[in-house]
Amino acid sequence: MTTPAKRRTDPERAQNRRNQVLEAAAVCFARSGFHGASMSEISKQAGMSAGHIYNYFDSKDAIIMAIVERESEYVTGLLRDLQTRDDPLQAMIDDARRHIDESLDPQPWHVPLEMYAEASRNPVIAAQLRVHEESSRTQLRELVKQGRERRNLPVDDVMLDGRIDTIISYFQGLQIRALHRPEMNRDSLVDAFRIAMTALLLS
């Protein structure tokens, strides 16, 4: 007979196992690509059998979709953190180094590139990315709008849309720049990023 304590720990154990698979898959996808990474490669990286992985994910496509979901949750978490700050707009400027360092981390930044590439040929992934993009963009737009209103700055819809899309492009474009120019000077990049973000957010 299953005890209440065991019932409580089983879901936690299952989630830990899922996370273990996703961490391993992220490493494999960054190294070999979504299609180049095999289930055997993922299972070896995760330290469990392929059969065991299928207890948590029906297929490699399900793992890919979970990676997409996890990336969305990460962005949502960043936006929620900003909403708790006394001055979210200034926090975005002040946190430039942390965001740049995270975006240019040698392993994780390959995974978003794989997601974008996969979305260009996989309509299911593309549709899911668009859902997440619209949700996070709406959150960011409202956060910036409220911050500008508190400063009595213009919040014209067309202007605001252009600035939000430019801010998002800055962050997404960092990974492309890292691919083409890995030797970028981060101190200089942070300084320039803060100048650009100050102009977009506070002027």
Same domain, 109 and 186: yes
| Residue 7 structural domain | 1-57
The reply to whether 132 and 155 lie within a common domain is yes
Judge if 89 and 171 occupy the same domain. yes
pLDDT value of residue 160: 96
> The pTM is what?
0.82
Whether the CB-CB separation of 44 and 25 falls below 8 Å is answered with no
Residue 135 has a pLDDT of 93
The CATH number linked to 36 is 1.10.10.60
Closest CA to 140 of 77, 73, 51, 79: 79
The whole-number average pLDDT for the span 178-184 is: 86
Q: Count how many domains the chain has.
A: 2
CA-based nearest residue to 97, from 23, 156, 185 = 185
How far, in Å, CA of 137 to CA of 166, rounded? 11
Residues 76 and 111 in one domain: yes
Please tell me the distance from the alpha carbon of residue 143 to that of residue 145, in angstroms, as a whole number. Answer: 5
**Residue 64 pLDDT exceeds 60:** yes
> Do 92 and 173 sit in the same domain of this protein?
yes
Within this chain, do residues 140 and 48 fall inside the same structural domain, yes or no?
Answer: no
* pLDDT tens-digit readout, 128-140: 999 999 999 999 9
Residues 94 and 125 in one domain: yes
Mean pLDDT computed over every residue of the chain: 88
CATH code, domain carrying 91: 1.10.357
- Looking at the fold, whether 20 and 39 belong to one and the same domain comes out as yes
Which residues lie below 8 Å from residue 62, measured CB to CB, with a gap of 6+? none
95 and 183, same domain (yes or no): yes
